[in-house]
Amino acid sequence: MEKWILKYFTLIRVMIALIIGVAVTILMIYLISEYPGESLKYFFTGPLASKGRLFNIFEMAAPMIFCGVAIAVSFQADQFNLGAEGSFVIAAAVGTAFAVSTNMPAFIHIPLVLIVAGVTGAVWSLVPGILKAKWKASELVSSLMMNYVAFYFSLFLINSYFRDKDAGFLVSLRLPETALFAQFIPGTRMHFGIILAVIVAIAAYYFLYHTTSGYEFRQTGYNKKFARFGGINIIKVIIMSQVLLGFIAGVGGMSEVMGIHGRFLWQAPHGYGWDGIIVAIIGRSHPILIIFSSLLLAYLRVGGQVLNLMGDVPAELVNVIQALIILLITAEAFLGQWKYRITRRQAEKEEAAK
Amino acid sequence: MSNNILEMNEIFKVYPEGVIANRNVSMDVQENSIHALVGENGAGKSTLMKVLFGITPFQGGSIVYKGQEVSFSNPREAIAAGIGMVHQHLMLAPDLTVAENLILGMEPRKGKFFLDSVEAEKICRDASEKYGLAVPPEKKIKDLPIGVRQRVEILKALARNAEILILDEPTAVLTPQETEVLFKTLDGLKGAGKTIIFITHKLSEVTRVADRITVMRDAKDITTRGMEGLDEEKIASLMVGRDIRTERIAPPDSIGAAKLSVRDLRYTDADGVEALKGVDLDIRAGEILGIAGVEGNGQSELAEIIAGLISPESGTVTLDGESLLNLTPREVRESGIAHIPEDRMENGVAEVATIEENLIVDRYYKDKYSSRGRLNWKFITDKSKDLIERFNILAKNSKSNVGFLSGGNIQKVVVARELTSNPEVIIASQPTRGVDIGSEELIHNLLKEARDEGKGVFLISADLDEVLKLSNRVIVFYDGQITAHFEDASKVKDVDLGPYMLGLKKEEAASGKMDS
């Protein structure tokens, strides 16, 4: 039993963190709500109550998966780049501009728009990478600052040149049909981009764990001096990791436009990049786990929406719960004493067996 | 009535990773004696002392100090009770003066906020006189040789009224001459009524100064007793549980032409310190060239330049006539240099990566290990299992994290990788530091085998016994220069090297060049 606990310790720790998070949620709902029973039901089973809401989870998870995987790839190379947000937005803007100004058959248009967006994101993300590799400028600071530049430049581009003047509010022109993802389940917004997100996650997993470049990424992330000592070109790795981050986030941004909205409509920062950081951390930077952590976060979000809509608990609550769960999961020393005690008992047992 | 000042009974200590460092270890120390604590690296000596000093908690057993059961939860409490510890890596602030270091944490003040430096120097001078330990109070630590720094550290403990002084491998960084001075100091302190516990694995030192001894092996205490009837050999067999040989290895049968040549190499580090001031040397095929010298005299920089990790200011490094400078670390490796780095945790391995991943860092891109950018894990695992067996690495399997291995086994991972890259020249920096005796023997044999296969081996070690055991030729480094060159190492004794290591003597135009 104890051996088993040690083996799956990380998983068990995450589960316990979740259980505590849920327990606190229940407690808070009881304190705030007039009808706690109803409210709990809305929050926990609400997301599963209808087809629309259920698929809402998947729709919401897609951009999280894109951004989470993008960030995980750079985390694995030990780059703390916050630029997923910027790449996501600017790629969506430039991709939208490209899509509305070109006209070609769908089977060329869709991949081409995605590539334009991805490359835009990659080039954008390259800047902090070069600054870091050449002058040791902290990628954290430069990427954060560039997020603002990206967002407001995107607004300028869309609002000044590609604005839909017939719409009642500030949005871009609608993408031509040839550049839209098909929505394949009637009554939902399930679109091809969601499948693409999963494919990207699997591809990233394969890249990191089964290719020589992925090996270079991870060794550089584990210990830069060791990687350099062994002959790995760590400058190349640092730059490549930023490029990949920007590319994946960029494709994610465009996929959101092509699958859900059909146009660029963000007038205030949405925070996709930050969601990406959250799911990357919960998923321990492992692309496959990130699919699940994204679904979890999306589930919590949808539950919060339902609760807000139907019950009497404000949506802000869900943010509190999220923060708490993430805090517990990321606190590596959480339950560390427990683990230590088990380790010790195991060691003593092995000792006695000798 | 016993005159034990300290008794440690059945101490049990497990580290969080599950490594048992002390299995019910007991030892008693008599007042006013010099007590040696010996054992191989990893036997649990340092842990036992850390437990005593309150650095790390323990899970079982008791400590009785001056007749009372104690348990210090941090070093401050231990110091207050009269226990002082001098760590292997000295804990002094290099930019402060001797006096300032001495009074750190108990500063005399002028008014409320200002340091009274006159008083500080007086405290320092008084302590220095009282214990007969000469130190220059106004000099900065960084300007002093290591032996004097250590004296400052000892004085620092004494100034805090230490009755028991714990010295953790105090001689590891000292020359034979400095060691002699330290031993006189210890004798003097004993005369002044102090008790000294001193950790070492050098047996000649034990027989030279100790009154009593505790031998540890494999996390257990083997014996605590007086020194009567013990000689070095007996202690050694107690330590390892079998007989060991310390004699020198046979010199090589045939030595080839110079493989690696270094000429007029100069290097200035980022702080503006001239680490290498014009070094010339040759390493020939089929020989082991040893560098003796106190650490920090340019040896590390020389190794890093050859390996392509840093670039020199001027000079040349050639392998078979081809320059190695301006090559990337990978190109240097591919031209035939292998490098066992001095700091294995920093350069040698990635702790959180698996053994496999650590073993392939220099070859993952090569044929069979991968094809068209795809890693061939099956081949890598098979190869790794092979190396684990051949190099006797004690690990559960090839996918365990390197960080879970003991120091000796981590070093074997590094050695396994470097020696199997089919090198022409092997740079071995401190190849057996912190490694148990069994692994040390294995590594020594591997280096000898490499030599006999016609490879050039460049051995850099702070351990003179190791240098003299393995090398057929020895050069001495001091202050970025070669101060002596002994072409026949078999005629050299460690005391011959001391004056050159300290810069007291220097051969005219010394270099490690071989005329061919």
pLDDT score of A114: 96
Among chain A residues, CA nearest to B327: A231
Residue of B nearest to A227 (CA): B361
Report the C-alpha gap between B477 and B501 in whole angstroms.
6
B509 Rama sector, left if φ>0, alpha if ψ -120 to 50, beta otherwise: left
Please list, in sequence order, all residues whose beta carbon lies within 8 angstroms of the beta carbon of residue A335, skipping any fewer than 6 positions away. Answer: A13, A16
**Contacting residues of B for A213, CB less than 8 Å apart:** 373
Q: Are A328 and A17 in contact (CB under 8 A)?
A: yes
Query: Which long-range CB contacts under 8 A does B142-149 form with residues at least 24 apart?
Result: B142/B94, B142/B95, B144/B98, B145/B178, B145/B502, B146/B90, B146/B173, B146/B174, B146/B178, B146/B294, B147/B174, B147/B175, B147/B178, B147/B181, B147/B182, B149/B90, B149/B92
Q: Is B220 on the interface with A (CB under 8 A)?
A: no
Contact: A230, B351; criterion CB under 8 Å: no
CA distance linking residue A221 with residue A146, whole number of Å: 23
Distance between CA atoms of A338 and A288, rounded to whole angstroms?
28
How are beta strands B314-319 and B258-268 bridged, if at all?
antiparallel
In B, residues 88-117, which contact A (CB 8 Å cutoff)?
A: none
Backbone angles phi, psi at A314, to 5 degrees: -65, 150
User: What's the confidence (pLDDT) of residue B111?
Assistant: 79
pLDDT for the residue A165: 85
Label residue A350 exposed, middle or buried (CB < 10 Å: 0-12, 13-18, 19+).
exposed
A10 CB-near residues (< 8 Å, 6+ apart): A284
Residue B299 tokens, joined: 């040896």
Using the Cβ of A212 and the Cβ atoms of chain B, whether some distance falls under 8 Å is answered with yes
- Considering only residues 365 to 394 of chain B, which have any Cβ-Cβ distance to chain A shorter than 8 Å? 365, 370, 373-375, 377
**Percentage of chain B surpassing pLDDT 90?**
46
DSSP secondary structure code for residue B258 in this structure: E
Which residue is it, tokens 């959101």?
Answer: A256
User: Is the pLDDT assigned to residue A351 strictly greater than 80?
Assistant: no
Q: What's the whole-number mean pLDDT along residues B144-156?
A: 86
Name the 3-class secondary structure at A331: coil
Q: Which of A23-32, A197-206, B52-61 has the highest mean pLDDT?
A: A197-206
Q: A238 to chain B nearest CA, in Å?
A: 17
pLDDT at B147: 81
Nearest to A212 among B20, B348, B375 (CB): B375
What single-letter amino acid sits at B464?
A: L
Quick check: helix, strand or coil at residue B398? Answer: coil
Read off the pLDDT of residues A220-272 as tens digits, 9 standing for 90 and up. 999 999 999 999 999 999 999 999 999 999 999 999 999 999 999 888 888 89
Which of A229, A240, A344 to mutate against chain B (most B CBs within 10 Å)? Answer: A229
Maximum separation of any 2 CA atoms in chain A, in Å:
82
Domain B249-336+425-431+451-516 bears CATH identifier 3.30.70.380: no
Q: Output the pTM of the full model.
A: 0.79
- B109-128 b/e with 16+ CB inside 10 Å = b? eeeeeeeebeebbebbeebb
Q: What is the DSSP letter of B347?
A: I
Spatial neighbors of B475 by CB under 8 A, at least 6 apart, are: B281, B289, B290, B291, B292, B482, B484, B485, B486, B510, B512
Predicted confidence at residue A354, as pLDDT, reads: 58
Which residue in B has a C-alpha nearest to residue A333's C-alpha? B16
pLDDT score, position B267: 95
Cα distances from A60 to residues A56, A118, A253, A332, in angstroms, run 6, 20, 13, 28
Question: Cβ of A218 and B16 within 8 Å?
Answer: no
CA distance A275 to A266: 16
CB contact under 8 Å between B18 and A230, yes or no, is no
Beta pairing, strands B34-39 & B195-200: parallel
Cross-strand bridge partners of residue B6:
B29, B65
Distance, CA of B457 to CA of B425 (rounded, Å): 6
CA distances B136 to B115, B155, B355, Å, are 19, 12, 49
Residue B303 main-chain phi, psi, to 5 deg: -60, -45
Assess contact for B482 and B292: CB atoms under 8 A: no
A219 Cβ under 8 Å from any chain B Cβ = yes
Identify the band that residue A316 occupies on the pLDDT scale cut at 50, 70 and 90. Answer: confident
Q: In chain B, what residues touch A212 (CB-CB under 8 Å)?
A: 364-365, 370, 373-375
Between the alpha carbon of residue A286 and those of residues A204, A292, B10, the distances in Å are: 9, 10, 45
Contacts of A210 in chain B (CB under 8 A): 374-375, 377
- Kindly give the residue spans of alpha helices, DSSP state H, lying in chain A: 2-7, 9-32, 36-45, 51-76, 84-101, 106-135, 139-161, 192-210, 212-222, 224-229, 234-256, 272-282, 287-310, 316-330, 336-353
Distance from CA of A212 to the nearest CA of B (A): 5
pLDDT at B104: 85
Across-strand partners of B167?
A: B86, B198
d(CA A83, CA B184): 63
Amino acid at A39: S
The pLDDT tens digits for B319-335 are 999 999 999 999 999 99
Query: CATH classification of B4-240 is 3.40.50.11810, yes or no?
Result: no
Q: Are both B4-240 and B249-336+425-431+451-516 of the same fold?
A: yes
3-state DSSP assignment of residue B334: helix
Sign of CA dihedral A198, A199, A200, A201: positive
- At A337, the pLDDT band (50, 70, 90 cuts) reads confident
Mutation to test the A interface, candidates B10, B12, B13, B14, most A Cβ within 10 Å: B14
Nearest-Cα residue of chain A relative to residue B353: A222
pLDDT of residue B118: 87
What distance in Å separates residue B117's CA from the closest CA in chain A?
40
Please state, as a whole number, how many other Cβ atoms lie within 10 Å of the Cβ of residue B495: 12
Flag if A211 and B374 touch (Cβ within 8 Å). yes
The string of pLDDT tens digits covering residues B218-252 is 888 989 999 888 888 788 778 877 655 567 888 88
CB-side neighbour CA atoms (13 Å) of B397: 4
pLDDT at position B56 over 80: yes
Please judge whether A219 and B353 are an interchain contact, meaning their C-beta atoms are less than 8 angstroms apart.
yes
Cα–Cα distance measured from residue B462 to residue B295, given in angstroms and rounded to the nearest whole number: 6
| Residue among A306, A279, A294 at smallest CA distance from A44 | A306
Q: Cα–Cα distances in Å, from A192 out to A257, A332, A340?
A: 12, 36, 46
Angstroms from A217 CA to nearest CA on chain B: 12
Q: Which of A212, A223, A351 sits opposite B370 (nearest CB)?
A: A212
Query: CB distance from B244 to chain A under 8 Å?
Result: no
CB contact under 8 A, A226 and B309: no
- Give the Å distances, CA to CA, from B47 to A27, B7, B52, B210: 46, 16, 9, 21
Question: In angstroms, rounded to a whole number, what is the distance separating the alpha carbons of residues A277 and A322?
Answer: 13
Q: B239 CA to chain A: closest CA distance, Å?
A: 21
| Partners of residue B14 in chain A, C-beta under 8 Å | 343-344, 347-348
Q: State the Cα–Cα distance between residues B96 and B105, nearest whole angstrom.
A: 13
Percentage of residues of chain B with pLDDT beyond 70: 97
Burial of residue A257, with CB atoms counted within 10 A of its CB: 0-12 exposed, 13-18 middle, 19 or more buried: buried
Residues B15-49: tens digit of each pLDDT: 776 778 899 999 999 999 999 998 876 788 888 99
CA separation for the pair B244, B469 (Å, rounded): 13
Mean pLDDT of chain B: 88
Please give the share of chain A, as a percent, with pLDDT higher than 90: 48
Mind listing the pLDDT tens digit for each residue in A108-161?
999 999 999 999 999 999 998 888 878 888 888 999 999 999 999 999 999 999
Determine the pLDDT at residue A245: 95
Q: Does A223 touch chain B (CB under 8 A)?
A: yes
pLDDT in tens, B268-325: 987 778 899 999 999 999 999 999 987 778 999 999 999 999 999 999 999 999 999 9
Cβ partners under 8 Å of residue B250, min gap 6 = none
Position A10 scores a pLDDT of 77
Residue B1 pLDDT greater than 50, yes or no: no
Q: What mean pLDDT comes out for the span B349-356?
A: 93
The ranges assigned to domains in chain B are 4-240, 249-336+425-431+451-516, 345-422
Domain definitions of chain A by residue range: 60-301
The token pair that represents B503 in the structure block: 């810069």
